[in-house]
């Protein structure tokens, strides 16, 4: 079929689909009107209510909004007929969210059904609690659910559902469940005759015990006894045998549960456990009959090996397991290789001697080239854990070679691990410098800021390293392709230690300056700011090139960027003073950085955060795991819950981005402020700092946390805007991060409704308490806020879901205030939520004729906004960045409408619940040579016109596309 014919076919299909949609909408509206009238009459019997609620549910499942019928569903729940009650519960769970005002109306009905002697009614009520799961429901009904779980009169299937419902409530609202008080009665159910009940209760205990180790200590011996009955004594019914393996899911959970506790001191218990583990290893030698048998057998075996490693790495069972693991990592089955590498990484993280694992080093290195990325990840984890002084150079060299061809999703983690291993096991300073600079040069954009911060810190603190680092980085700066992170390192090191190599041939002051300045024009504004500080250092160190540098300062006194302009003007003033006294004072050499934990480790541990079933070990060596285990046990078993966080007083110096005590451009000791290029801390309101504030991150001060931590209402935390801008036209990403907490956001919008999920990750070494979130609402935007958990466990994460409704047009965006206690009295963060008017528009497709017809119909005047503005970055119309941004603002891109292919034309419809739909059209004309845009927006509402134009202009001006 020719291209025109295909296009015609698609066009006809679109018309047909639109017609079908219109007919469906008419039928739906007619049916809704009929149902609404029936409900309004109020003369319906139970069957009729059930019938009409079913129709509403069907329309809801098709995607139509249902804003009535909720009360009829609530009435159905109170019915004594199963069919009516079932539909009522189904409607409630589908149509109501946990913060709905109607939820409290169904709590009493659910409570009555929980107290009934009818097991079917009990189960319907439990389903509703688990599916809706709000705080109010948990507080009111948790005790009743617990009663059903422990009651001798409850049937087995009711107990199973009760256990899983409690698990759901605990995961959402752990502070509501009195876990410690219920421990004794819940633990007894591990011995239940019904293996299904034992399985569900074990899942519940695993969650409760992780946060209440001491209270649930009694489950240890119960779990061992149950395992012995299953594995050794073979006490189980045939209903629970899965391909000749007795209830493998329960075995796995019990084996994992035992890993949360230290090995028992009771010899009798240890003997039982040894028999269980030995029996599992012996059974694993049987030839599997099929794939399912093999999977179940291996799942139990690997968890048993993990438990054996946890109990004693020198035991005979672990020695047998090590031999098995050597075979598993060469298996033809991907799943077996994966589990073998992961379990061997556990062994490497706990064992005293790595020699048995090093025998398989070549095989492990080959796993980096496995066809499955999950296997490659586990191979990387194992190499990281098994690395020591003897094999560090070989492993790091292989990782660097593999980095060039590694998956993009794997590169950032590889960079972190290479940097950590190089620092940890370096025996020669020259090797460390060579590897790190090669890493930065090779990895490019995948090198996080923490990597070059750490290089700067180590070079500054080691005099014997400084000259070699300066020579090496100068060589890299002269290469044709030099990544910006390498330019930052070069700017810092040459600014501080360039004088050490100035007398070497090819490294004179002028040659150093030219090497750096050749990269100046292609760098971002932040890097240019850092290099300006390097230049003022050169003026102090090398007066012979002062003229070349002053011309640069004079040129940048007039740029648009306030940070660059201020630095250039102030540095020019200092450099042209009659005497050099002030210049020498502010350009004093950097003092050594205070010793502190590497930020690389913190960043790496964030990427291996715990799931709901927390890891019992972390990727790394034995020392790391011993420290983690002692911290975990002291905080959980002794219920200490908090400890003094380590505070380090950072120096207020140059090049590390520090701030002054008086708000000026120089600090109290004369050193230049913010010379790493991140000077926006002063511009954003940190000019007048308390000298007792805590300076975090090394070596640059990315986050400055006041010990008071209190933020006035309506204020935004300085620096948080850097994340907000990107999220205006994307659906997920980081919305805030500092040394205390990481906040990530995911969002979705449909018409005038939307929802946002915020994930709060505790980055501190203590439990976060008194955690609250408050929305500062704006007019015409309704946001329902969940009741937040009051704590975030150590290295844990919680989630909050916000439902959003756009009632009418609005401007700006709402704020959210996050408050908590983590070692300081009260810490408050103010953030802008990326809820803007553009989030509630939906893209539409128009042909050229329809577009221009609507364009003329809307007309100009107040309904049109046109702006001509300059972009901060060069405009690239080839790679589609502009179109991606416009699509992110939810405009449908109309191809072929504008005769200039570089121009972007878009159409969309804004949805509001009160004002209906508002048509939105836009046209963007980029001028690549002049680095400018002309943006024209037309909508049927002047408020929307101005707001959309402002939002688009802001992002097009400031984002690199």
pLDDT tens-digit readout, 896-950: 888 888 899 999 999 998 888 999 999 999 998 888 999 999 999 999 999 999 9
Q: Does 58 appear as a known binding residue?
A: no
47 labeled part of a ligand binding site: yes
CA distance 935 to 41: 54
The answer to the question of whether 7 is labelled as a binding residue is yes
* Ligand-binding site membership of 960 (annotated): no
pLDDT tens-digit map of 641-678: 333 333 333 322 333 333 333 333 333 333 443 333 33
Min mean pLDDT across 56-65, 79-88, 541-550, 691-700 is at: 691-700
Q: Per DSSP, what are the bridge partners of residue 792?
A: 768
Return d(Cα 337, Cα 335) in angstroms, integer: 5
Per-chain mean pLDDT for the chain: 82
Q: Confirm or deny that 429 is annotated as ligand binding.
A: no
Residue-wise pLDDT for 522-571, tens only, equals: 888 888 999 999 999 998 888 898 888 899 898 888 888 888 899 999 99
Q: Cα 109–113–117 angle (5° rounding)? A: 155
pLDDT of residue 874: 87
| CA 318 – CA 308 distance, rounded (Å) | 6
Residue of 809, 750, 802, 749 lying closest to 775 (CA atoms): 802
Task: Establish whether 674 is an annotated binding residue.
Answer: no
Segment 410-447, tens digit of pLDDT: 888 888 888 888 888 888 878 888 888 888 888 777 77
| Residue 155 annotated as lining a ligand binding site | no
Output the pLDDT for position 905. 94
Q: What is the pLDDT of residue 637?
A: 41
Q: How far apart are CA 832 and CA 775, in angstroms?
A: 10
Any known ligand binding at 53?
A: yes
Residue 916 pairs in a beta bridge with: 912
Ramachandran sector of residue 680 (left: φ over 0; alpha: ψ -120 to 50; beta: rest): alpha
Beta strands in 629-705 (DSSP E): 694-696, 703-705
Computed from CA positions of residues 112, 117, 123, 126, in that sequence, does the dihedral angle turn out positive or negative?
positive
Cβ atoms of residues 814 and 833 within 8 Å: yes
Q: Is 863 annotated in some ligand binding site?
A: no
Banded pLDDT at 19 (limits 50, 70, 90): confident
177 Cβ contact partners less than 8 Å away, ≥ 6 residues apart: 138, 142, 166, 169, 170, 208
Residue range 686-720, pLDDT digits in tens: 222 222 333 233 333 222 233 334 455 567 888 78
Q: Is the pLDDT of residue 618 over 90?
A: no
Instruction: Find out whether 513 and 548 touch, Cβ atoms under 8 Å.
Output: yes
Q: Do the beta carbons of residue 768 and residue 762 sit within 8 Å?
A: yes
* Average pLDDT of the segment spanning 164-183: 90
Least confident stretch, 592-601, 771-780, 856-865: 592-601
pLDDT in tens, 855-875: 888 887 888 999 999 998 888
């Amino acid at each position: 079929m020719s291209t025109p014919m295909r296009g015609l076919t698609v066009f006809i299909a679109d018309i047909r689909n639109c017609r079908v949609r219109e007919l469906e909408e008419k039928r739906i509206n007619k049916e809704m009107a009929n149902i609404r009238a029936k409900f309004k009459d109020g003369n319906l019997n139970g069957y009729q209510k059930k019938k009409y609620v079913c129709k509403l549910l069907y329309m809801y499942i098709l995607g139509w909004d249902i804003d009535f019928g909720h009360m009829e569903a609530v009435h159905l729940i109170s019915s004594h007929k199963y069919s009516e009650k079932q539909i009522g519960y189904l409607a409630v769970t589908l149509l109501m969210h946990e913060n709905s005002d109607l939820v409290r109306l169904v709590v009493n009905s659910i409570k009555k059904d929980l107290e009934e002697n009818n097991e079917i009614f009990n189960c319907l009520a439990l389903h509703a609690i688990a599916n809706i799961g709000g705080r109010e429901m948990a507080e009111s009904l948790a005790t009743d659910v617990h009663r059903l779980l422990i009651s001798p009169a409850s049937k087995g299937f009711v107990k199973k559902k009760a256990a899983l419902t409690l698990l759901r409530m605990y995961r959402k609202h752990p502070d509501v469940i009195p876990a410690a008080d219920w421990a004794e009665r819940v633990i007894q159910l591990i011995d239940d005759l019904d293996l299904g009940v034992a399985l569900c209760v074990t899942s519940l205990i695993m969650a409760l015990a992780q946060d209440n180790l001491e209270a649930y200590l009694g489950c240890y011996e119960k779990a061992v006894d149950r395992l012995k009955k299953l594995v050794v004594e073979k006490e189980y019914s045939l209903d629970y045998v899965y391909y000749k393996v007795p209830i493998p899911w329960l075995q796995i959970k019990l084996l994992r549960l035992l890993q949360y506790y230290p090995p028992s001191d009771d010899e009798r218990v240890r003997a039982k456990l040894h028999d269980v583990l030995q029996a599992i290893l012996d059974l694993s030698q049987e030839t599997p009959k099929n794939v399912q048998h093999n999977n179940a057998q291996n799942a139990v075996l690997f968890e048993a090996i993990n438990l054996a490693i946890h109990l004693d790495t020198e035991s005979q069972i672990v020695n047998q397991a090590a031999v098995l693991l050597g075979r598993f990592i060469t298996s033809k089955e991907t799943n077996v290789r994966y589990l073998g590498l992961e379990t061997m990484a556990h062994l490497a993280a706990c064992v005293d001697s790595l020699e048995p694992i090093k025998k398989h080093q070549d095989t492990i290195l080959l796993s980096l080239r496995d066809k499955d990325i999950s296997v490659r990840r586990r191979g990387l984890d194992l190499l990281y854990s098994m690395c020591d002084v003897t094999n560090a150079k070989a492993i790091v060299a292989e990782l660097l070679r593999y980095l060039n061809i590694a998956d993009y999703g794997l590169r950032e983690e590889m960079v972190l691990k290479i940097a950590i291993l190089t620092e940890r096991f370096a025996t020669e300073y020259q090797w460390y410098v060579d590897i790190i600079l090669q890493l930065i040069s090779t990895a490019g954009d995948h090198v996080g800021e923490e990597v070059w911060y750490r290089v700067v810190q180590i070079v500054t603190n080691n005099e014997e390293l400084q000259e070699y680092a300066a020579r090496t980085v100068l060589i890299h700066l002269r290469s044709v392709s030099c990544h910006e992170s390498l330019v930052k390192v070069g700017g810092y090191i040459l600014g501080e230690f360039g004088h050490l190599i100035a007398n070497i041939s090819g490294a004179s002051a002028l040659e150093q300056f030219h090497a750096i300045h050749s990269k100046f024009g292609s760098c971002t504004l932040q890097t240019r700011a850092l290099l300006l500080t390097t230049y003022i250092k050169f003026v102090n160190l090398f007066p012979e090139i002062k003229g070349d540098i002053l011309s640069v300062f004079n040129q940048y006194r007039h740029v648009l960027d306030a940070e660059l302009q201020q630095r250039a003007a102030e540095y020019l003033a200092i450099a042209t003073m009659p005497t050099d006294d002030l210049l020498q004072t502010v350009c004093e050499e950097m003092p050594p950085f205070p010793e502190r934990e590497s930020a690389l480790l913190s960043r790496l541990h964030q990427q291996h955060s715990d799931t709901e079933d927390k890891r019992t070990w972390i990727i790394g060596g034995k020392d790391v795991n011993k420290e983690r285990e002692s911290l975990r046990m002291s905080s959980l078993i002794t219920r200490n819950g908090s400890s003094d966080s380590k505070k380090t007083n950072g120096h207020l110096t140059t090049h590390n981005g520090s701030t002054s005590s008086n708000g000026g451009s120089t600090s109290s000791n004369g050193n230049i402020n913010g010379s790493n290029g991140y000077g926006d801390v002063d511009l954003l309101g940190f000019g007048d700092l308390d000298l007792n504030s805590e300076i975090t991150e090394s070596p640059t001060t990315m986050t400055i946390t006041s010990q008071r931590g209190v933020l006035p209402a309506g204020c935004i935390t300085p620096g948080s805007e850097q994340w907000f801008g990107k999220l205006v036209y994307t659906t997920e990403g980081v919305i805030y991060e500092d040394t205390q907490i990481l906040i990530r956001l995911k969002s979705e919008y449909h018409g005038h409704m939307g929802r946002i999920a915020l994930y709060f990750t505790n980055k501190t070494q203590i439990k976060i308490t008194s955690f609250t979130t408050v929305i500062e609402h704006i007019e015409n935007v309704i946001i329902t806020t969940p009741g937040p958990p009051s704590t975030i466990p150590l290295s844990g994460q919680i989630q909050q879901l916000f439902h959003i409704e756009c009632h009418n047009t609005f401007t700006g965006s709402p704020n959210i205030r996050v408050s908590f206690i983590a070692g300081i009295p009260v810490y408050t963060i103010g953030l802008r939520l990326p809820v803007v008017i553009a989030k509630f528009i939906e893209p539409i497709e128009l042909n050229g004729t329809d577009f221009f017809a609507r364009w003329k119909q809307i007309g100009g005047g107040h309904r049109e906004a046109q702006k001509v503005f300059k972009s901060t970055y060069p405009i690239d119309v080839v790679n589609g960045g502009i179109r991606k941004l416009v699509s992110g603002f939810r405009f449908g891109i109309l191809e072929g409408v504008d005769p200039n292919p570089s121009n972007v034309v878009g159409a969309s419809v804004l949805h509001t619940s009160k004002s209906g739909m508002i048509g939105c059209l836009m046209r963007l004309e980029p001028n690549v040579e002049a680095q400018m845009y002309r943006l024209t927006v037309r909508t049927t509402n002047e408020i929307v016109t101005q707001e959309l134009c402002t939002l688009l202009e802001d992002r097009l001006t400031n984002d690199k596309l």
